[in-house]
Amino acid sequence: MQIVHTIADLRAALAGKGHPAFVPTMGNLHDGHLSLVRLARQHGDVTVASIFVNRLQFLPHEDFDSYPRTWDADCAKLEAEGCDILFAPRELDLYPEPQTFKVQPDAALADILEGHFRPGFFTGVCTVVMKLFQAVFATNGGGVAVFGQKDYQQLMVIRRMVRQFALPIEIMAAPTARAGSGLALSSRNGYLSDEQRVQAMALSQALKTLADASLQGGNLAELEAQAMADLRAQGWEPDYLTVRQRSDLQTPEKAQAGQLVALGAARIGGTRLIDNLEF
């Protein structure tokens, strides 16, 4: 695996190699990330992963400084998965000057749910992803980029960005990788104690219970409030547990199976986890 740090070196490494399949990450790789790399390998001429902890998508009180950085282990995992190129820009390689131009996503999609609780998050994500896409695809005429379905809203925002800017990139979604308990794999699971890791499976269970209840009818807002109260009673601090339309993440007028997704974000101890369930 070739490791490059600058955009110029990345483009040189990609010259003449065909269409890349790209997996952007912030490192601290787990099996979920590696499943994205596996999918990418089937859909491109050359597989590229990036590791970059993007300051622009963290709020001042969030975990940018303490975000787990596990460089040696990450390189070994990518190498073992057969990744061809690792792009690992330093902050000044990607942001040599303050990034005053930003990609401002559609408020209707990006200022709700995660964007409501993490204002500016999707502007930070879209700005860095646009920049990474320029680095990876601009000289190779486009390709494929793979994102995990665990970050459901992020996936939708990126898809809409790619469509509206007519980028020559196909966005592929990889299913959420889970531990045996049902807990969605996440870099932030590393913050959990053993006891919290057991408790953490309650989030995916709460989404399943909410999804089932919503299909049986009843007032959706009341069912969501009940789901939040149940989770709170188990020691969580939920930001939201909600049922939305898959098409635009707005509240459905009527719960119809096959068109919905239950999404949740909640803190256990100091750790904020997210998950979702299509139904």
Task: Please give the positions annotated as active site.
Answer: 33
Chain Cα centroid distance, residue 86: 19
Cβ 222 to ligand PAF, closest distance in Å?
Answer: 33
Window of 3-11, 23-31, 172-180, 238-246 that interacts with ligand PAF by CB under 6 A: 23-31
Query: Could you tell me the sign of the dihedral formed by the alpha carbons of 16, 17, 21, 24, in that order?
Result: negative
Window of 37-45, 111-119, 123-131, 166-174 that interacts with ligand PAF by CB under 6 A: 123-131
Window of 20-28, 215-223, 236-244, 257-265 that interacts with ligand PAF by CB under 6 A: 20-28
Cβ 41 to ligand PAF, closest distance in Å?
Answer: 18
Which one of 20, 24, 143, 238 is in contact with ligand PAF (CB under 6 A)? Answer: 24
In which region does residue 266 sit, left (phi positive, over 0), alpha (psi from -120 to 50) or beta (all else)? beta
Q: Give kind and range of the element (H or E) at residue 210.
A: helix 201-215
Rounded distance between C-alpha atoms, residue 244 and residue 259, angstroms: 9
Residues of span 144-173 touching ligand PAF by CB under 6 A: 151, 154
- Please, are residues 27 and 74 in contact by the beta-carbon 8 Å criterion? yes
Q: Which residues of 43-53 are buried (b: 16+ CB within 10 A; e: fewer)?
A: bbebbbbbbbb
Question: Is residue 128 involved in binding ligand PAF (CB under 6 A)?
Answer: yes
Window of 18-26, 72-80, 97-105, 267-275 that interacts with ligand PAF by CB under 6 A: 18-26
Cβ 155 to ligand PAF, closest distance in Å?
Answer: 9
Question: Is residue 176 involved in binding ligand PAF (CB under 6 A)?
Answer: no
Which CA distances in Å does 264 have to 139, 201, 227, 261? Answer: 39, 12, 10, 10
Question: Is residue 125 involved in binding ligand PAF (CB under 6 A)?
Answer: yes
Cβ 54 to ligand PAF, closest distance in Å?
Answer: 4
Question: Is residue 201 involved in binding ligand PAF (CB under 6 A)?
Answer: no
Which CA distances in Å does 39 have to 20, 82, 135? Answer: 12, 11, 21
Is the CB of 32 or the CB of 211 nearer to ligand PAF?
32
Cα 199–229–197 angle (5° rounding)? 10
Rounded distance between C-alpha atoms, residue 97 and residue 120, angstroms: 19
Residues in contact with ligand PAF by the rule CB under 6 A: 24-26, 54, 57, 125, 128-129, 151, 154
